[in-house]
Amino acid sequence: MFLQRLSDVCRTTSFRLAMLFLALFGLASLVLFGFMYGEVKNFMQNKVDEWVQREEQELARRPVDDILRRLKDRTIGEADAERSMALFDKSGARVAGTAISLPASIPDTVGPFNFKLAGIPGHTHFRGIVHTLSSGDRLLIAQDIGELREFDEVLTGAMALAGAIIAVLGLAGAAIVGAGAVRQIDGITRTTQDIIAGDLSKRLPTRGNSGDVDKLAGVVNKMLAEIERLMHEVKGVCDNIAHDLRTPLTRLLAGLERVQRRASSAEDYRQGVDEAITETQAALRTFSALLRISEIEDGVRRSGFQSVDLAAIVTDAVDFYEPAAEEKSIVMTVAVEGTPILSIPGEPSLLFEAIGNLLDNAIKFTPEGGAVSVRIKGGPRGTDLTVSDTGPGIPPDESETILRRFYRTERSRHTPGNGLGLSLVAAVARLHSMVIIIDQPDTGASVSLRYETKDAARPTA
């Protein structure tokens, strides 16, 4: 089980990315440490070379006697094996200076070189130069580089230790990140299985850190919310179709049976047929409205969008419904406020139908002598097309449910209609990327279609 979990962690993208960045960081650190090591080593070696070459130039131009005298004085006063100076004769025997021997091999190149000598306690590795005098004697000037070698070992060890620590911490961090990714994937997997099993209320877990997986999960959750809404709507439609069509079909059946039993003349049969036609037409209108809503929600008609004048469509809709308002002595007004966007992409017939349904509902539920107003207003969020009335209003707890198909408030049960008007308005709004906003004024109801600007945030309500 542990090996399986470890294998899952190693296969995660987070773990692989962490390991990639660890490798890149390790390579960058190696280059940086290597550069620092080379610079420091060169600096210390240059200091040694400067002293060796300076002393060589100082002694090499002196006579042999002066060199002997200086070496004897130095040996007597400041014998120091760390900075050794010695004079050797032609046979290689030491004549004066530090008790040191000539290197076993002397390179032909001019300049300081490294060599190793035995016999001086605590001093083995040197860097120096051998200068052959005109007399044939050879002058050795060298400095112990044991500390430089120790520095190399310490720095190399520190680099190795730092590399090991970085590798361990990097692996641990990658494992932690990978384990977190595995936990999130496991949570997503479990939630997905629950959704497949039929629980559409489940949502993919997120960490709230705006990561890539969180962004993807957020998009999927929005999709799941829409699917859940559509599924509930489909179920509600089926229930509401059975409920709302049962009454007209029952009336149709009862009317036909009554005619069959009681009709005694052609006029009675004609009256029964007319009543049956009326009921059938009402049922067909309901099915036609359902098919139209499905057609709009399919989104195919979006391909035929054109630039439409919102004010012109509103004017046409108001002119069309004004006679119905006059029959109930309802005053209809149209106003444009601010600087609204009047030219929007859309289909004129659908927008006319949506605005017409809002006006039809407003006139239907506004008592005689009331008022219906249409307002086009521009604001920071976009352009609002609002239809307000002075009717009984919409209960606050039903502001969302009235958009469902066949839904009707209790106060509208005795008003002719099938409860599909606002559903069609909602479908047209979604097709045109609009937002429906239902306000609760002091009197009546107010329904707005908002066409948002690109940089405007959607309202949460």
List pLDDT tens digits, range 136-162: 888 888 888 877 878 888 888 888 888
pLDDT higher than threshold 60 for residue 242: yes
**Lowest-confidence region among 59-63, 180-184, 369-373:** 180-184
Binned at pLDDT 50, 70 and 90, residue 420 comes out as low
Average pLDDT (33-51) is 85
Say yes or no: 287 and 250 in one domain: yes
| Residue 421 · residue 361 · CB < 8 Å | yes
Note the pLDDT of residue 329. Answer: 92
Average pLDDT (425-441) is 84
Q: Give the residue among 55, 57, 82 at the shortest CA–CA distance from 148.
A: 82
Binned at pLDDT 50, 70 and 90, residue 259 comes out as confident
Say yes or no: 175 and 212 in one domain: no
pLDDT higher than threshold 70 for residue 81: no
Note the pLDDT of residue 372. Answer: 92
Binned at pLDDT 50, 70 and 90, residue 37 comes out as confident
Average pLDDT, the chain: 78
Residue 320 lies in a domain: yes
Residues 46 and 111: their CA atoms lie apart, in Å, by: 12
Residue 10 lies in a domain: yes
Say yes or no: 220 and 281 in one domain: yes
Say yes or no: 333 and 438 in one domain: yes
Note the pLDDT of residue 78. Answer: 45
In tens, the pLDDT along 441-461 reads 777 888 888 888 765 444 433
Residue 457 lies in a domain: no
Residue 395 lies in a domain: yes
Note the pLDDT of residue 44. Answer: 84
Residues 168 and 172: their CA atoms lie apart, in Å, by: 6
pLDDT higher than threshold 60 for residue 416: no
Note the pLDDT of residue 456. Answer: 44
Say yes or no: 134 and 279 in one domain: no
Say yes or no: 223 and 313 in one domain: no
Say yes or no: 206 and 355 in one domain: no
Say yes or no: 111 and 13 in one domain: yes
Residues 179 and 182: their CA atoms lie apart, in Å, by: 5
Residue 228 lies in a domain: yes
Average pLDDT (406-420) is 52
Note the pLDDT of residue 413. Answer: 44
Say yes or no: 49 and 112 in one domain: yes
Binned at pLDDT 50, 70 and 90, residue 28 comes out as confident
Average pLDDT (205-232) is 81
Say yes or no: 444 and 343 in one domain: yes
Give the residue, 198 or 247, on which the prediction is more confident.
198
Ramachandran bin of 155, using left for φ above 0, alpha for ψ from -120 to 50, beta for the remaining angles:
alpha
Average pLDDT (12-25) is 74
> Pick from 162, 177, 199: which residue ends a domain?
199
Residues 127 and 132: their CA atoms lie apart, in Å, by: 17
Binned at pLDDT 50, 70 and 90, residue 432 comes out as confident
Q: In the chain, how many domains are there?
A: 3
> Pick from 152, 174, 199: which residue ends a domain?
199
CATH number for the domain harbouring residue 311: 3.30.565.10
Binned at pLDDT 50, 70 and 90, residue 400 comes out as low
pLDDT higher than threshold 70 for residue 301: no
Q: Name the burial class of residue 448, with classes exposed (0-12), middle (13-18) and buried (19+) by CB atoms within 10 angstroms of its CB.
A: buried
Residue 460 lies in a domain: no
| Residue 429 · residue 444 · CB < 8 Å | no
pLDDT higher than threshold 60 for residue 348: yes
Note the pLDDT of residue 79. Answer: 47
Note the pLDDT of residue 461. Answer: 33
Residues 6+ apart with CB under 8 A from 283: 245, 248, 249, 252
Note the pLDDT of residue 373. Answer: 92
Average pLDDT (81-97) is 82
Give the residue, 419 or 29, on which the prediction is more confident.
29
Say yes or no: 85 and 170 in one domain: yes
Binned at pLDDT 50, 70 and 90, residue 320 comes out as very high
Say yes or no: 179 and 247 in one domain: no
User: 246 lies in which domain range?
Assistant: 201-298
Q: pTM of the predicted model, to two decimals?
A: 0.45
Residue 461 lies in a domain: no
Note the pLDDT of residue 458. Answer: 43
The percent of residues in the chain predicted with pLDDT above 70, rounded, is 79
The H or E element that residue 450 is part of is strand 446-452
> Pick from 149, 184, 199: which residue ends a domain?
199
CATH number for the domain harbouring residue 291: 1.10.287
Residue 459 lies in a domain: no
